[in-house]
A = this chain, B = another copy of it.
């Protein structure tokens, strides 16, 4: 280890000030919340143009839909990873419901279903706009299935 240590010293420096390595349990829980919200923000950023197309605010572009759906399909399986840190005991602001950690198997299954639907959307772009938008609807319903159960309703 000591021989290799200098090799990644740079790397340690890079991350030493980041919240994942924060000292207190509260800071680590806040970092976990920020991380999971961050992941969902990236998902939303890839959804954005597709929603714009669905609303007919921007022209339909099959390549963009396919690319973005593929990116979403890479991100959704990370949801159970970033929710692994159980923050139920912390008095921190979050819309994540306790049910997530009480039903982690179902929560994970729902992210898997949504992932399959994202891949189905990418595939559906080969069959034209109507097929793609129908597949997008199914993906949206998949997202909603999880939000309804595991996210605080505003």
Contacts and interface: CB of A to CB of B under 8 A. Distances in A.
Interface residues of A, number: 57
A92 interface: no
Report copies per complex: 2
Given A18-B44, A51-B21, A11 B137 contact: yes
**A-side binding surface: helix, strand, loop or mixed?**
helix
Given A1-B133, A39-B42, 6 more contacts: A1-B130, A7-B137, A14-B144, A19-B41, A19-B44, A71-B81
23 contacts: A3-B130, A7-B134, A7-B137, A7-B138, A8-B54, A8-B140, A10-B140, A10-B144, A11-B51, A11-B54, A11-B136, A14-B143, A18-B44, A20-B44, A20-B45, A20-B47, A32-B45, A37-B38, A38-B40, A39-B42, A42-B78, A42-B82, A45-B81
A85 to B, nearest CB: 9
